[in-house]
Amino acid sequence: MDQTSTTEWRTTLETLNRSLHMGLDKAAAGAFQARNLTRLAAMVCARSPFYRDRLASAMGRSGLRLERWEDIPILTKDELRIHRDSILIAEPGPESGAVRRGWTAGSEGEPLHYARTALSDYVSSKTTQRFMRWWKMDGNLRLAQIQANRHTADAKPTPAVRRGWMEGHPAGEHHTYPAITDLQGHLGWLQDIRPAYLKGYPEALGELARLALRQGRVLRFQLLVSGGAVLTEDIRKLCRDAFGCEVADFYGAEEVGSIAAQCPRCGLYHAADENVLLEIVKDNGKPARAGETGRAVVTSLFNHAFPLIRYQIGDYVEAGGRTTCPQPLLTVRQVLGRAKAIFRLSDGRSVWPFIPSSDMGALPNVKRFQFVQVALDRVEFHYVPRDPSQGTDDELLAQLVRDFIDPSLATTSVPVSQIERENNLKYMLYRSVLGA
């Protein structure tokens, strides 16, 4: 690595360290991103035929023309799977550090293989640590996490513990417990270790909260941390009632790391501008304005082993607006979820289905459920009955769908023995088989 490159990387890391506690202002974040996008573009055009062609419209004689950034085609997951080998750069350079490989199933179910560098992991962890400090998390205290694993449903739980979950606090204990075990076991484990913080999928946290309230269990945390799926206001309120604390929501993806996190001051999600360039792009290709919904498109600034440029994660988000906080380049009002969860209607509209749990509670024989859109005008209500000899209230169910989702939808109830989890071990309450 030449002296110029060494100096640039040193400047980058120094900027990261300075921004750990307060974040970059708009001007500094813009300059930081521009510098690293330019470096990324030059590298991939020199070493990747796939990106050389893809970025051609945005490159000039002196390098990347940022004003032409939106001319670069958006990279889909299907394209990523097809062109994975031509995107992968075997030797990204010594500044990137070691390269690790992994895979994520995501909500689509088909495995997606990726690679991450030590540098990209480092930058992502820096922004995550900053998000934690926003919520005044103390690295000396105990963190518990219910996380996905590859165990079968009847596998023996294997709790684990490691130390040093927050930088600068090597003694802080991080306890983990398999997600795919019974909820009763989760409650018992949490009562035994009594952590200050609990981290998990939103729906899993909500289920624990329901069970704790139903059984009169007294569990108290300083903070819940959710991620990996959509956190609804319904689940947030349920967790507050059950555990007496707030829920901090983090937004990220395995292949890119941290993307954004909810702010305790303003309630919006601040983008991890030092780790990714986040764009919110409407279906017509135009940037979404405040209050508008679009697809989350990210560029990983530091992953030179597996460059992801204008990569469509698969989520829809609502763009945020101005905030009283120190403003990064972009804010997100809410993460809406995967395209797979959108219901598309016969008149061309798309809706995000959601029925509050307080209203679903009027169906007492429903243990677990999933709404599946099977046609433009019809949904199926798959449910596991508490008493298999009893059904459910079809008239009330149909009314809930009409009131909360759309009046045009007819509803059929279908009792089932179980609701399958996605390959990433998360449940989807709403699913469409019609495609995005």
Q: Quote the CA–CA distance of 331 and 230 in Å, as a whole number.
A: 17
**pLDDT for residue 338:** 72
Q: Determine the average pLDDT of the residues in 410-423.
A: 84
Question: Minimal CA–CA distance to 302: which of 77, 39, 75, 126?
Answer: 39
Q: Do domains 3-130+251-341 and 136-245 have the same CATH topology?
A: yes
**pLDDT for residue 108:** 46
What is the assigned CATH class of domain 343-432?
Answer: alpha beta
Q: Quote the CA–CA distance of 76 and 360 in Å, as a whole number.
A: 35
Percentage, residues of the chain above pLDDT 90: 47
Residue type present at position 224? L
Topology given in CATH for the domain delimited by 3-130+251-341: Rossmann fold (3.40.50)
Of 32-41, 315-324, 351-360, the range with the lowest mean pLDDT is 351-360
How far, in Å, are 13, 66, 311 from residue 33 at the CA level? 13, 10, 16
Q: Quote the CA–CA distance of 217 and 365 in Å, as a whole number.
A: 23
Q: Which two tokens stand for residue 29?
A: 């974040």
DSSP 67: G
Q: Quote the CA–CA distance of 322 and 195 in Å, as a whole number.
A: 36
Q: Which two tokens stand for residue 398?
A: 């149909």
**pLDDT for residue 324:** 75
How far, in Å, are 184, 193, 202, 220, 293 from residue 216 at the CA level? 13, 19, 21, 12, 40
| Mean pLDDT of the residues in the chain | 85
Q: Tell me: the pLDDT tens digits for 69-119?
A: 999 999 998 899 899 999 999 888 888 888 998 877 544 445 678 899 999
- How many C-beta atoms surround the C-beta of residue 394 within 10 A? 13
230 in Cβ contact with 335 (< 8 Å): yes
Residue 151's pLDDT band (cuts 50, 70, 90): very low
Q: Tell me: the pLDDT tens digits for 25-43?
A: 778 788 889 999 999 999 9
Q: Determine the average pLDDT of the residues in 240-259.
A: 94
Q: Determine the average pLDDT of the residues in 210-219.
A: 89
Is the CATH number 1.10.10 carried by domain 136-245?
A: no
- pLDDT of residue 256 exceeding 70, the answer is yes
- pLDDT of residue 306 exceeding 90, the answer is yes
Q: Which of 25-29, 47-51, 239-243, 331-335 has the highest mean pLDDT?
A: 239-243
Q: Quote the CA–CA distance of 282 and 324 in Å, as a whole number.
A: 26
Where do the domains of the chain lie?
3-130+251-341, 136-245, 343-432
How far, in Å, are 62, 180, 230, 302, 370 from residue 118 at the CA level? 29, 30, 28, 9, 39
